Amino acid sequence: MTVRGIICTVIETVLLVLALGSGYRELIVVAFCLGVFMALSLLSMLLVILTARAGSSLSLTEVQRRDEVAYMLTISGIVLLPVTGYLAITAPGIDPQDKKARQQRAFLLLPTFRGRQMALTLPCTHMGLWPVGPVYLRYEDLFGLFRFSLTKSRLTHQLTVYPRIHDLGEDREKAVAAGFSESQVRSASSGENLGDTRQYQPGDALKRIHWKLSARTRELYTREFEMQENAQVLVVMDMQCRSEDTRSTLDIAAETVLSVLAHFTEAGKAVRLLPVRSYGRSVLTESRVASEPELQEVQAKLLSVALHHTQEPLEVWELRDAGFTTVGTVFVVTDHPSPSLISALDAQVSAGQAVVCLVPCVGMEPPEHSGGQVQTVVLNTPEEIGEKVGGCL
């Protein structure tokens, strides 16, 4: 019974006592009419309680973040008098206690023996494994005297929201121009592939002289070779962040990592993924990604990953297992690189490697320091990944 129902019950009781004590017929009639009115409302609710059935379903059980899913609620039962209903549900990844984020729906069940269906479209805001169901579902009689709440557990479904893979392949020309081409080569004094020839210069080794060309032109020419660079790609993912909004930061970091892995995997390259500062608390471990099944395995593991809030920056010594000398391209995904790390990455750029520092930045200012040679890309939302990361490949 609601507060309104309690007040009506008290009024009816007072009227009945006054009517019996004073003998006024009018008071008896009023008390009788009010009693009948409440009895019909109670009977209507009892029928709903005994016969009401509710079922639910999801249009999809596996989606990518930023997709939408339809939650379908079906209600059936015997309704004697009109009954009102109230439904509240939150989107996947949103705190159910956040009343502002709830989708609320009021509905009316007219006298009928047939059911009613309602559909609510829910945006998938954050990646992860989420239960999707009503925060509350209740019935009230038309005058709000009695209330009945349905069990929510059997109306809840499990929804898997994967991190979205963004297309980074639109800027191929930029990628080659920036030195991130798939086949990086450099001139060398020796190697497997003959590159070009040039005129002899003092100090050139005699074994590099191109004797046939020199004899034909009557000038000394030397051979130049091209040495293939190591084409392996390294992606470092920091498992800690300085932002207190760890969930939104994780969305950006996970989708950045996954998009880079997908980009190079589609190009036929092997990518080494190295999570750092997890300290054994994460299911995501160092792995080699070179095929679609391996990419899907990483995507599934990212669902159970959680970033941990810290104010400590990522130091260079924490990348001691990175093995920079064995890779040609390095991506570091962290929102708090230390000055020593930036200096170390600068040194890798000077050594001929391609290095990019990708900084997820949610509700905070970007790091004050930036590398002199290292490309630093600040990502404020996941929607910027395709353009900004694709532009620096």
Residue 203 sits in the same domain as residue 294: no
192 pLDDT band, cuts 50/70/90, is very low
Residue 13 sits in the same domain as residue 111: yes
Lowest mean pLDDT among 181-190, 200-209, 297-306, 323-332: 181-190
Residue 388 lies in a domain: yes
Q: What is the mean pLDDT of the chain?
A: 80
256 pLDDT band, cuts 50/70/90, is very high
Residue 167 lies in a domain: no
Residue 39 sits in the same domain as residue 143: yes
Residue 129 sits in the same domain as residue 202: no
Residue 379 lies in a domain: yes
CB of 38 within 8 A of CB of 143?
no
In whole angstroms, what is the distance from residue 147 CA to residue 7 CA? 14
Residue 156 lies in a domain: yes
Residue 82 lies in a domain: yes
CB of 67 within 8 A of CB of 124?
yes
Q: Residue range 231-243: average pLDDT?
A: 88
Residue 176 sits in the same domain as residue 263: yes
**Which DSSP symbol is given to 117?**
E
299 pLDDT band, cuts 50/70/90, is very high
Measured distance between the N- and C-terminal CA atoms of the chain, rounded to whole angstroms = 64
In whole angstroms, what is the distance from residue 102 CA to residue 100 CA? 6
In whole angstroms, what is the distance from residue 286 CA to residue 243 CA? 24
Residue 18 sits in the same domain as residue 139: yes
Evaluated on CA atoms 334, 248, 310, 322, the torsion sign reads negative
User: Beta-carbon neighbour count of residue 20 at 10 Å?
Assistant: 12
Instruction: Identify the pLDDT of residue 179.
Output: 41
Instruction: Identify the pLDDT of residue 184.
Output: 40
Is the pLDDT at 337 greater than 60? The verdict is yes
Domain coverage including residue 43: 1-162
Residue corresponding to tokens 């950006």: 252
CB of 327 within 8 A of CB of 298?
no
Instruction: Identify the pLDDT of residue 329.
Output: 87
CATH of residue 69: 2.60.40.10
Is the pLDDT at 132 greater than 60? The verdict is yes
Residue 117 sits in the same domain as residue 209: no
CB of 298 within 8 A of CB of 289?
yes
Residue 236 sits in the same domain as residue 223: no
H/E stretch holding 149: strand 147-149
Lowest mean pLDDT among 157-166, 214-223, 306-315: 214-223
Instruction: Identify the pLDDT of residue 373.
Output: 78
Residue 221 sits in the same domain as residue 305: no
Domain count, the chain: 3
